[in-house]
Amino acid sequence: MTPPGPRHLITFLPRLFGPSFVVIASLNLWNVYIARNAQLTSRLCPRLLVEVPIWAIVALGLVARPAWFYIGFYLDRFSDWRAARTLGAVLPPIVQDSALSIISKRKKSIQNGYPGDALYQYLKEYGRGGNIVQLSFLGNRMAFTVEPEHVKAILATQFDSFEKGPVTFAIFDSLLGVGIFNSDGDMWKFHRAMTRPFFTKERISDFEIYTRNCDRALGLARSRLAEGYSFDFQDLVGRFTLDSASEFLFGYNVDSLSAGISYPKHASHRTNSLFHSHASNSFLHAFNKGQHQLAVRAGAGRDWPFFEFWKNEVVPLREEIDRFTEPILKEALAKRERRLASKASGGDEKIDEEENTLLAHLVNHTQDPKILMDELVNLLVAGRDTTMSLLTFSVYMLMENPHIEHKLREEIMEKVGPRNTPTYSNMRDMRYMRAFLNEVLRLYPSVPLDGRRTNKPVVLTSKNANEAPIYIPAGTGTTYSVFYMHRRKDLWGPDALEFDPDRFLDHRLHKYLTPNPYIFCPFNAGPRICLGQQFAYHEATFFLVRLLQQFTNFKFDESENMRPPEEWKNMEGPQGRDRVVPHVALTMNVKGGLWMTMQELKVDEV
């Protein structure tokens, strides 16, 4: 495979050196013309028609590229200004920073910062209170917003004016291919149509899969605690959600829980060889590392190949993922052939009902291995990572707010009981549990940043009704952050930075959220709204019910968890309080894991 860097360089060099080449070539041709027509030029205008000295050619060649950039930038800006003025709109404020500085700050933010803090800092510095700015770097043009009306336009009211676009496709293709999260148009509609029927209430209300995998997961935690060690809750629920999602979607449990869980660093020698050699661990390592690398790419924009110049860092990771998922696909295709053969010979057609899974449905509509493998990866991202994130930050919030743990347990005991398995009816009645999960998603949304690209000029409303609307030119990458939108005091009230599930139950619900529903978008909205939203709520609720029925006194293991930077302590709100490092790949997670201890719940404590 051709390295990304040289291939991209071929397309980049004309942009970089084209203006200089044109100037130098033109001046040299001028000198040749003057030399060949010396007598003619001396008679016409001897003072002007002269050869250009070498030093002047070199100097003009050097300044041609920056001059071309600035002339082009201001011509584009002027053209956009005229188009905006025609529509009675204005352009968003421009961030005054160099391309290298923008890329460097975004990369640093992704690797070690608070989610999206580089972009949010630009917004505070240049946004003039309007909650939207525009960045330009190396030919990339991007708008960044935290305004609900803009999010509403992107996701719903002007949906057809926004797309994933070629830059996003190029960034994510190595891992996600042409799956549902990295496609537009007919391909996206195909994936959406295939997936939708498998998230009906009847399907997502069958909790047998949750019961089996949850009991195994909590059994692993119980065993580790009995040995006197803490455990990584994030890794545990990541395995629970992976096994549950694979069984629900594909009819095949990848059984990552059978590998067990790792020991803390100081007892790492106790981790047995089975854990290290288990196929699911290679898959999970590649899965996690691949998503992180995509986040780094996104920070660099269309010129990401320069940061992976000689080697595509994601391709070998995708190959590792494919080695794990390929047997699942082969078995599904083989079952399809057996079904067709059975029907052809007049066999029992009930065999179809036995394989009534999403994967079986997909292989009935296409046998293209690339499309199918890509969709498997996309569905595993959705099925594992979003709920893993929700559960991880939920338990983190229980550690930080013990009174909420007690309040949740009271509701569980009232609605479900101390030992019963929760049902769909139970979950529907657990209003405080749903409010708790919503509050977790408000402050720690699973997908804190997302984006689209305008495929035509777009006009967005301003924050204030008496201000002119905002004009966004065609071809502009538009990133929005629900992470910061969910924390705005002007949208959620003066206590917006406090964790309080009751805001989804008391007068604040009707004061803030009901009249303005787009201030809360943890699962997106509009045509691309997450199909697995209720699946995630059910899975997270089920796990938390079983957890709180059996355990209490959740404690943070200070010796194992990664500590936030000291400067965070001076920040307002959750960032100043956080004892973990929220980290963004495709979804948000706790950097280094969430190491914790807990105690068995005694009968007299129920």
Instruction: Give start and end residues of each alpha helix (H) in 465-561.
Output: 482-485, 489-492, 507-508, 533-550
* Residues in Cβ contact with 582 at an 8 Å cutoff, skipping those fewer than 6 apart: 114, 115, 444, 448, 588, 589, 590, 591
Report the alpha-carbon distance of residue 545 to residue 513 in Å, rounded: 27
Residue appearing with tokens 């972009």: 119
* Residues in Cβ contact with 2 at an 8 Å cutoff, skipping those fewer than 6 apart: none
* Residues in Cβ contact with 56 at an 8 Å cutoff, skipping those fewer than 6 apart: 27
Report the alpha-carbon distance of residue 5 to residue 339 in Å, rounded: 47
User: Chain centroid to CA 252: how far?
Assistant: 26
CB 549 within 8 A of CB 419: yes
Report the alpha-carbon distance of residue 297 to residue 286 in Å, rounded: 16
* Residues in Cβ contact with 400 at an 8 Å cutoff, skipping those fewer than 6 apart: 499, 577, 579
CA distances from 536 to 182, 437, 569 (A): 21, 10, 32
The number of C-alpha atoms within 13 Å of 399 and in the hemisphere containing its C-beta is 22
Q: Nearest CA to 497 among 574, 570, 438?
A: 574
Both tokens of 281, joined, read 């661990």
Both tokens of 213, joined, read 């995998």
CB 468 within 8 A of CB 135: no
Q: Across-strand partners of 66?
A: none
Report the alpha-carbon distance of residue 305 to residue 302 in Å, rounded: 8
Report the alpha-carbon distance of residue 397 to residue 582 in Å, rounded: 13
HEC sequence for 152-208 = HHHHHHCHHHEECHHHHHHHHHHHHCCCHHHCCHHHHHHHHHHHHHHHCHHHHCCCH
The answer to the question of whether 521 is labelled as a binding residue is: no
What is the rounded radius of gyration, in angstroms, for the C-alpha atoms of the chain?
28
- Specify binding-site residues: 530
Annotated binding residues for heme, written as ranges, equal 530
